[in-house]
């Protein structure tokens, strides 16, 4: 895994957004795998701005998101569909019909998981998968467990994840306890993977993901096996990694 250090959150977002924009400019029909959470907010804000400034178009891009809460319709402000619509899709020229997320309200979840896997396959797989990192090492909503799960599946969220998500809901009872997430086959099948991490609170998870054993107890550790995985993290998130493990990356702007 290549590791690039950014100065801070803003710099991390810039470095990640530059890579996404460069890909979309050079390969306009790209299938982007997208993530939610706090980490990508600055990335999506930059992409939205660069679209508004006429630097990049998403007209031919197709997107598949990693995950969705179970039971939240797209109109719910905390659903990932709502997040994506408001943080990126409505700000750029992407065709709404080309934006895909798992349906957390599907009545037949087994069929929905299968549909999502087939959808990703029908798009030809993912060109670039953007990932955030959970405090427990999760990617998407692939929580620590006894085995890596290959396909899209329903997960029971860990208590620590539920607590982390509480900041976005009115009460603990309102935080969804289950979600549907893309599995490791589609994430690892992406041609390139970009892991974006910010903050000292993620430093321990970064060490485990990057230099610990590859184990389903730390889902992100599987990225060590990916042929084109890049971690872009700010110095706070890299603070527990030995300096020799980082390629310090200077800003060329």
Considering only residues 136 to 155 of the shown chain, the ones binding ligand GLP according to CB under 6 A are: 140-141
Indicate which residue of 68, 112, 143, 158 is catalytic.
143
Cβ-based nearer residue to ligand GLP, 134 or 183: 134
Q: Which member of 16, 20, 64, 66 binds ligand GLP (CB under 6 A)?
A: 66
Nearest to 203 by CA among 154, 240, 159, 157: 240
Strands 153-156 and 178-181: what pairing?
A: antiparallel
Shortest reach from residue 197's CB to ligand GLP, in Å: 8
**Residue whose CB is nearest to ligand GLP in the complex, by number:** 132
How many Cα atoms occupy the beta-carbon half-sphere of 41 within 13 Å?
A: 6
Distance CA 95, CA 227 (A): 31
Characterize 146-181 residue by residue with b for buried, 16 or more Cβ atoms within 10 angstroms of its Cβ, and e for exposed.
Answer: eebbeebbbbebbeebeebbeeeeeeeeebbbebbb
Using the rule CB under 6 A, is 161 a contact of ligand GLP? yes
Can you tell me which residue has the tokens 């019909």? 97
For helices 41-52 and 9-26, angle between their N-to-C axes, nearest 10 degrees = 50
The span of 12-20, 26-34, 133-141, 206-214 binding ligand GLP (CB under 6 A) equals 133-141
Helix or strand run (H / E) with residue 5: strand 2-6
Using the rule CB under 6 A, is 219 a contact of ligand GLP? no
Shortest reach from residue 36's CB to ligand GLP, in Å: 6
Known catalytic residue at 143:
yes
Known catalytic residue at 67:
yes
Cβ-based nearer residue to ligand GLP, 60 or 192: 192
The span of 37-45, 46-54, 71-79, 237-245 binding ligand GLP (CB under 6 A) equals 37-45
Sign of CA dihedral 83, 67, 51, 232: positive
Residues annotated as catalytic (active site), given as ranges: 67, 136, 138, 143
Q: Which residues bind ligand GLP (CB under 6 A)?
A: 35-39, 66-67, 132, 134, 140-141, 161
């Amino acid at each position: 895994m290549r590791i690039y250090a950014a100065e801070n959150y803003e710099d991390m977002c810039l470095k990640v957004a530059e890579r996404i924009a460069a890909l979309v400019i050079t390969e306009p029909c790209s299938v982007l795998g997208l993530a939610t959470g706090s980490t990508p907010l600055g990335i999506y804000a930059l992409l939205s701005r660069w679209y508004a400034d006429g630097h990049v178009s998403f007209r031919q891009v197709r997107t598949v998101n990693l995950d969705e809460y179970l039971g939240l319709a797209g109109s719910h402000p905390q659903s990932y569909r709502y997040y994506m619509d408001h943080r990126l899709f409505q700000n750029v020229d992407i065709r709404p019909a080309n934006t895909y997320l798992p349906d957390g309200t599907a009545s037949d979840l087994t069929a929905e998981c299968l549909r999502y896997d087939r959808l990703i396959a029908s798009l030809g797989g993912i060109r670039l998968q953007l990932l955030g990192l959970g405090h427990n090492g999760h990617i998407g909503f692939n929580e620590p467990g006894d085995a890596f799960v290959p396909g899209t599946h329903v997960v029971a969220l860990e208590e620590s994840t539920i607590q982390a998500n509480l900041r976005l809901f009115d009460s603990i009872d309102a935080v969804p306890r289950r979600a549907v997430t893309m599995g490791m086959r589609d994430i690892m099948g992406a041609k390139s993977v970009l892991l974006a991490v910010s903050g000292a609170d993620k430093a321990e998870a970064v060490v485990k993901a990057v230099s610990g054993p590859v184990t389903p107890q730390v889902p992100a550790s599987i990225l060590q096996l990916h042929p084109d995985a890049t971690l872009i993290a700010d110095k706070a998130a890299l603070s527990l990694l030995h300096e020799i493990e980082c390629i310090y990356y200077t800003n060329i702007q």
